[in-house]
């Protein structure tokens, strides 16, 4: 079929949209891709800039330490998921609809549309020419992510397409790619979490054949979003991308391998992965926040590079969180977990799933918000369901009440401090895989800790002035022109069940200046039998 313009944003139209909204820094001065580019963007995440003020970066004048320049090429960082808002714009949906859009797209994928010609094949380099310095992947302005520790430029936002030799179903996963030579790239497809590409590799190995692959750079944002999403094995991500777009994604056949790739991508690196030999890959700064040390991984011989004449590639800021890599996963995984617990496991009381992001990188701490009054056995089912849904996520799962803000770790610790008895409300499950983290010598297994930090009964109110008094005081505060407030939850008291009308009446009396009446009330109920700190419940104010 002839190529037709897509009807969804490609990376350049997405960048124009960000620019129009004031969400893009365009850097036109020369920037060294290997030493300056990622550290510059890193400051946005380690410099105390609030998420609402973060933007995407577009570098238009890229150079490197060896004096090379990359005319006609641009690199965008933070353009896919620099913030939740940027991600939502890439999806063309309001932020509040991200979760629903994912669930709808997964339930109703739309098959791709096959086209004969595509922007991603305007310039084609094939064969021996690729091995010549400056002609292969070394001609692309791929940055070094962690200068000082990484030992090569890396693809950090490449979608790796491969095909199941038994079913013919394609997979598209986002995996790190270590540039090794003009015509060679090493790639890490995780064995422990059964990355789709790694499953295919095992099948090609059993057949005694190399695995055809394509690494897609600068794909339309909503296509790239499907790469890191946790989709079932044998689910073709391109159909889910169609579901996100609400229309078929254009795909074109690769020039040297039997694979279909997104037509509006900017660069496609085609190749064959060796199934006989593995190649040392790394070190590389990983999203768990430590350096991944050198290890054996897959080695791809490049068979073609196809691209637009003038092109933009994306690079994802990863390593220590928060990062672009943690945002892209957080917004995708949280709705999946909620749907799993609420709809698949039918646990009605779960209202939200939140993954802790700063420094811990999402996978280790899961907070489950649970409605009040849900049977405690259901809380435990939710904890177990969350811990076992995917192999690498949910080392610590904590159930909390809805008044606890899961995005505020102080809140979660507050719940653990007062609503959880470690002896009765925690449970350790052995034999968890080690998951995504630094590779350490020793035990092969990690474990899971489940913590029920929900209130086990009624609690006294939170001890802050009632809302009406705080609101009145806020008006006063502003009249007095005191420093600007940024209210932190909780900023007023609220009931948690254990409170009486009688105490309410006493407090109201005190607020009206009649606290002496409350003194008379307690004088009338002196006790000769009570012990210190015995509760004094049910006392009435009998004064006429
Ligand atoms: C920035 C980024 C880099 C990633 N790098 C890798 C990687 O190198 N290897 C890997 O197996 N998974 C990596 N992941 C996670 C996978 O993309 C994720 O597990 C995805 O579900 C894999 O898709 P698959 O199930 O189709 O293999 C990365 C995710 C992100 C956001």
How close is the Cα of 438 to the center of ligand 1, in Å? 16
Per-residue confidence (pLDDT) for residue 314, from 0 to 100: 98
For residue 413, the surrounding DSSP H or E stretch is helix 409-419
Per-residue confidence (pLDDT) for residue 460, from 0 to 100: 96
Pocket lining for ligand 1, CB < 6 angstroms: 156, 171, 173-176, 188-190, 193, 195-197, 227-230, 287, 316, 318, 325, 328-329
For a ligand 1 pocket test, name from 45, 82, 195 the mutation site with the most ligand atoms within 8 angstroms of its C-beta.
Answer: 195
Per-residue confidence (pLDDT) for residue 544, from 0 to 100: 64
Structure tokens at 514: 């009649």
Per-residue confidence (pLDDT) for residue 2, from 0 to 100: 81
**Helices 84-91 and 98-107, axial angle in degrees (round to 10):** 40
Specify whether the CB–CB gap between 175 and 200 falls below 8 A: no
Per-residue confidence (pLDDT) for residue 372, from 0 to 100: 93
Q: Which domains does the chain have, with CATH numbers?
A: 11-315 (2.30.110.10), 345-452 (3.40.1670.10), 458-497 (no CATH), 500-544 (no CATH)
* Ligand 1 atom nearest to CA at 229: 21
Per residue in 296-350, pLDDT (tens digit) is: 999 999 999 999 999 999 999 999 999 999 999 999 999 999 999 999 999 989 9
Q: How far apart are CA 348 and CA 486, in angstroms?
A: 34
How close is the Cα of 162 to the center of ligand 1, in Å? 14
DSSP state, residue 290:
S
Residue with the smallest CA separation from ligand 1 atom 1 is: 325
Other C-beta atoms lying within 10 Å of the C-beta of residue 195:
21
Predicted model pTM? 0.94
How close is the Cα of 285 to the center of ligand 1, in Å? 14
Secondary structure (DSSP) of 238-274: HHHHHHHHTSPPEEEE-SSSS-EEETT-SEEEEEEE-
Among 126, 388, 113, 151, residue whose Cα is nearest residue 264: 113
The residues of the chain scoring below 50 in pLDDT are: none
């Amino acid at each position: 079929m002839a190529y037709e313009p897509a009807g969804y944003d490609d990376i350049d139209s997405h960048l124009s949209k960000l620019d129009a909204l004031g969400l893009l820094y365009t850097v036109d001065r020369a920037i060294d891709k290997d030493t300056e580019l990622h550290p510059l963007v890193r400051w946005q995440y380690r410099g105390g800039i609030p998420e609402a003020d973060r933007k995407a970066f577009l570098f238009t004048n890229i150079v490197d330490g060896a004096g090379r320049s990359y005319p006609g090429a641009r690199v965008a960082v933070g353009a896919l998921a620099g913030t939740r808002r940027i991600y939502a714009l890439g999806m063309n949906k309001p932020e509040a609809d991200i979760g629903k859009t994912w669930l709808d797209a997964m339930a109703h994928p739309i098959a791709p549309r096959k086209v004969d010609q595509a922007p991603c094949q305007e310039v084609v380099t094939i064969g021996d020419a690729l091995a010549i310095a400056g002609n292969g992947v070394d001609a692309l302005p791929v940055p070094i992510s962690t200068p000082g520790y990484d030992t090569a430029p890396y693809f950090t936002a490449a979608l790796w397409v491969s095909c199941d030799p038994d079913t013919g179903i394609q997979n598209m996963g986002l995996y790190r790619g270590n540039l090794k030579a003009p015509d060679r790239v090493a790639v890490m497809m995780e064995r422990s979490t059964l990355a789709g590409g790694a499953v295919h590799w095992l099948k090609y190995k059993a057949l005694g054949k190399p695995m055809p692959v394509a690494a897609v750079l600068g794909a339309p944002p909503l296509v790239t979003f499907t790469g890191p999403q946790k989709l079932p094995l044998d689910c073709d991500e391109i159909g889910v991308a169609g579901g996100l777009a609400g229309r078929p994604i254009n795909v074109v056949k690769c020039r040297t391998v039997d694979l279909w790739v997104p037509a509006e991508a900017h660069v496609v690196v085609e190749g064959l992965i060796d199934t006989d030999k593995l190649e040392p890959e790394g070190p590389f700064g990983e999203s768990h926040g430590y350096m991944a040390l050198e290890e054996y991984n897959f080695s791809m011989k490049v068979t073609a590079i196809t691209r637009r004449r003038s092109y933009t590639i994306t690079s994802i800021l990863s390593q220590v969180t928060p990062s672009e890599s943690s945002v892209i996963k957080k917004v995708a995984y949280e709705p999946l977990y909620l749907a799993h617990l609420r709809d698949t496991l039918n646990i009605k009381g779960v209202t939200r799933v939140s993954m802790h992001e700063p420094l811990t990188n999402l996978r280790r701490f899961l907070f489950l918000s649970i409605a009040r009054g849900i049977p405690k056995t259901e809380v435990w089912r939710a904890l177990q369901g969350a811990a076992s849904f995917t192999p690498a996520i949910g080392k610590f799962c904590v159930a909390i009440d809805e008044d606890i803000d899961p995005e505020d770790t102080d809140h979660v610790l507050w719940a653990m401090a007062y609503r959880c008895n470690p002896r009765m409300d925690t449970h350790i499950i052995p034999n968890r895989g080690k998951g995504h983290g630094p590779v350490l010598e020793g035990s092969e297994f990690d474990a899971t800790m489940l913590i029920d930090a929900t209130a086990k009964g009624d609690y006294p109110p939170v001890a802050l002035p009632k809302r009406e008094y705080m609101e009145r005081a806020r008006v006063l505060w502003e009249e007095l022109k005191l420093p600007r407030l940024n209210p932190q939850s909780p900023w007023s008291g609220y009931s948690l069940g254990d409170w009486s009308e009688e105490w309410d009446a006493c407090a109201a009396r005190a607020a009206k200046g009649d606290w002496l009446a409350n003194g008379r009330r307690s004088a009338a109920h002196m006790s000769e039998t009570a012990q210190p700190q015995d509760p004094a419940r049910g006392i009435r104010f009998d004064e006429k």
